[in-house]
Structure 1
Amino acid sequence: MKDRKLSKKIREIPIPDYEEDAFLRTLSAAKEADLHPERKRVTKAEFFAGQVHFISKRVWALKLLLTGLLLLGILETELRFDSSAWPLISVTAPILCLVNVNELCHICRPGMREILQTARYSLREQLLVRLLLFGGLDGAVCLAGAFLASGVTAGLFWQAILYFAAPFSVMCAGCMAVLGRCRDENALWYCTAWGGFLVVVINMLRSTSIPVYETDRVFAWGITAALGMAVTIREINRLLKYMGGNYHEINYGTADKTI
């Protein structure tokens, strides 16, 4: 009964006659239209700039707050060589890195990963953009902090950079290793635990009689920074390979694959 009533209603709907001339005019107008969809695609430069807007505002706020506290803390020490500026730089570095990891964990989680893989640019490229942005910004913070803490003294400037780079690179190495092996929501907690461990170790070394911030210990800081950066680069390459997205998953597998 319902099907008959529906058929009757459909037959009562007026259908205009087919006009072949109107169809041909539409085709002619479409041919004359200067449409180039390939020119409307997002370029790599636009993609890079656009990714800034997708990073959480909380991440930018935390990075700005930490940077301000670091610079204010250095200024409060009155730029004295024997002040607490060195430990302040060393402690701030892992925390800055942890703020970055919060954003990386957000885009690497399973629910978000499937959404991002439908975009034109792969998840690997989106992850790389964030790594470049965070690396550049944290490098600028390192230079600014070292410039203030060293009192514009060349030797102390490079020394201050090492005090930032060593804990920062070790923190990055641990977090990249976690992200490359842990895909669930616990990844951020593991990275937080690693950062807390580094902060505690730095404070313990400072409170002991070991002169970790003496000039003759700079070589050890440099070795630590070099090893940390080497491990970080290795882990980032591994993570990017398994975050390859649609193009790379045939060769390397998806991000769910166990590394």
Structure 2
Amino acid sequence: MKKSSELIQNKLQQPAMPPTSPDVLEETIRQSKQLLRQNQLAKRTTFIEFFKAQLRFISPKIWGVQLLIVVGMILFVQHTEVSSVRDKLQLLAHASMAAPLLVLAGIQLLTRSFTHNMMEIELSTRHSLEKLMMVRLSILSMADLLGLLASASFFSMQLERDIGLVLLYLFVPFNLTCLGCLWILNRIHTKDSGYYCLAYGGLLVILQFVLSIETVNLYDAPAVGGWLIVLVVSSLAVIYEVRKLREACRTIDQIQPAYLFN
């Protein structure tokens, strides 16, 4: 007991640890971040493994909602009676509202990845946020395109319209929805960006509905030139916004280790 007391007293009498210099502490943290980043880069998975992992990561609810939208719109067109050319045009206008809905079905996945940086996924896959976003965007886009192609094929046969025109009427609202959501993602980096995307998509669907009632002639042959112009311009704008999104992701990737210490 006496030895223990003496040991404690000796410890207490020892001079206190000198205060750590803020510069030294900051340098230690900086080097730790660099080592962590190097360790991540050294342990990356292959791209194919990463792609498969993202397929498994996407919730089945997203696929279910997209399938429900496509099947629901096909059934709507199939069971709606039309007796004139104008009625067919109006029904096609209503059916084209499926395009924005397909985009909105998966937008929450993208906004969540971008605003929260999905660090738990990056640490397990060792891939950059840019690659994460581009892979998920590609997967969702391919699913949307399959849905649009299936819908266009059915609408073309059911409404006796050229499939090229049907695709045009579907892709224009699809592009406009993608463009608006990408614009929001590139400028609003908060957790609410997903809700802004949903609000924008909802307004676009409402606008389509109003146009399908008030100006159904927009879906007639003489207006095809205008639709083509909108398609080309919106496609170029989407490409531009995707490039901006990649740049934003690269910026986050460069400061990624800081997230682990904040």
Compute the TM-score of the two structures, normalised by the length of structure 1: 0.74
**SS of equivalent residue, structure 1 residue 232:** helix
| 1:130 aligned onto 2:133 | no
- In 2, are the aligned partners of 1:79 and 1:149 still within 8 Å (CA)? no
Q: SS at the partner of 1:151?
A: helix
Question: Residues 74 and 153 (structure 1 numbering): CA distance in 2 closer, same or farther, change over 3 Å?
Answer: closer
User: Corresponding residue for 1:194?
Assistant: 200
Match of 1:90 among 96, 101, 107: 96
Per-residue CA distance 1:132-174 (angstroms, 9 max, x = gap):
1111111111111111111189961000001110001011001
Percent identity between matched residues is: 28
- Distance of 2:216 and 2:94 partners within structure 1: 17
Contact 1:117-1:123 at 8 Å conserved across structures? yes
Unmatched segments (≥5 aa) in structure 2: 8-42
Alignment of 1:155-166 (within 5 A): 156-166=162-172
Correspondent of 2:76 among 73, 90, 99: 73
Distance 1:4 1:232, change over 3 A: farther
1:1-259 equivalence runs, <5 A: 4=4, 42-77=45-80, 82-83=87-88, 84-110=90-116, 112-118=117-123, 119-151=125-157, 156-209=162-215, 211-244=217-250, 249=254
Q: Higher helix share goes to which structure?
A: 2
SS in 1 for 2:217: coil
TM-score by length of 2: 0.73
Structure 1 residues without counterparts, runs of 5 or longer: 8-39
Using CA pairs under 8 Å that are at least 6 residues apart, name the structure with larger relative contact order, 1 or 2. Answer: 2
Shift of 1:114: 3.3
Q: Over the residues paired in the alignment, what is the CA RMSD in angstroms?
A: 3.0
**How many pairs does the alignment contain?**
217
